[in-house]
Amino acid sequence: MDPYYKEALDQAKKSLAEGGIPIGSVLVYQNNIIGKGHNKRVQDGSVVLHGEMDALENAKRQPASVYKNSIIYTTLSPCPMCTGAILLYGIPKVVIGENVNFKGAEDLLVAKGVEITVLNDPESIQMMQNFIQAKPALWNEDIGE
Amino acid sequence: MDPYYKEALDQAKKSLAEGGIPIGSVLVYQNNIIGKGHNKRVQDGSVVLHGEMDALENAKRQPASVYKNSIIYTTLSPCPMCTGAILLYGIPKVVIGENVNFKGAEDLLVAKGVEITVLNDPESIQMMQNFIQAKPALWNEDIGE
């Protein structure tokens, strides 16, 4: 497995172990992970720290040139909020673990010229499927449903 | 002035007084402000807490039914990230202080059926214009440029 994706997946597993929503993400710049994170709805009561947002937040303030030469990895297809953050900062590439359990605003990313790669990693699919079955109300809250 | 918009503007002024970016927001549900906030880039080193995001965060976890019956007020046209958050949570109405200094993803909001009202409030326009002239690098960082 791609080592960057593995770290995103490890972040998702960390969140699951904490009782949280198992979605993780890393931001990679020049072959280095500069931010990693996971969904913080349960852990911090946050409604904005989805996995991708937490990775961006943990990367701290960066000049535009960093974002525009970075890749963001996420275990699940990015929701409209995370898609918007990717577009705001001009991140040109997104590697998505899976879009079987949830398909976010991928069409918008593509329309705006962002390169997306969907892995549909079996372990990621299974983990998310198990979580949604176990905690449907929490999952629905996370996607505004 | 609409009392909800006044509170959003007061939040922007509070941020300015703290040395931060003067953008404020409030989330209103059933005629009550349930969350208010302002840009936290300078204050907290945050890259995700734009005004609207901070108002959503401060409203804490809410059921979908609350968002879907709320109005969000913001002093400046929502960027793609904040637009995405509004779409994620299904907030049906957005009141925008001004879109003279910056026009965000209003077209996407409208395309998705969100009702927008643009006040173009002179005080808000002047405050933001003064800020951008005084701190152009900080402003550019906030919009990923």
Residues of chain A with pLDDT > 70, as a percent, come to 100
- What is the identity of the amino acid at A67? Y
Q: Does B85 touch chain A (CB under 8 A)?
A: yes
pLDDT digits (tens, 9 = 90+) for B6-34: 999 999 999 999 999 999 999 999 999 99
Do residues A40 and A19 make contact, with C-beta atoms less than 8 angstroms apart?
A: no
Enter the pTM of the model: 0.98
Strands A24-29 and A32-38: antiparallel
Residues on chain B touching A108 (C-beta within 8 angstroms): 108
Provide the shortest C-alpha distance from residue A78 to chain B (in Å): 11
Total structural domains in chain A?
1
Residues of the domain holding A126: 3-143
Q: In this predicted model, what pLDDT tens digit does every residue of B29-57 receive, in sequence order? A: 999 999 999 999 999 999 999 999 999 99
Q: Which of A40, A76, A88 should we substitute to test contact with B (largest number of B Cβ atoms within 10 Å)?
A: A88
* Residues of B marked as catalytic: 52
Q: Which 3 state secondary structure label does DSSP give A28?
A: strand
Question: Does B93 score more than 90 pLDDT?
Answer: yes
ipTM, 2 dp: 0.97
What's the rounded Cα separation, in Å, for the pair B41 and A92?
23
Pick the closest to residue A124 from A18, A38, A47, A59 (CA basis). A38
B88 touching A (Cβ < 8 Å)? yes
CATH number of the domain where residue B30 is located: 3.40.140.10
Q: Which residue of A has its CA nearest to B109?
A: A80
pLDDT category of residue A1 using cuts at 50, 70 and 90: confident
Give the amino acid at B48.
V
Q: Which of A8, A4, A3, A28 is nearest to A124 (CA)?
A: A8
Give the one of B47, B62, B108 whose C-beta lies nearest to A57's C-beta.
B47
Q: What is the pLDDT of residue B1?
A: 87
Which of B108, B140, B141 faces A61 most closely, judged by CB atoms?
B141
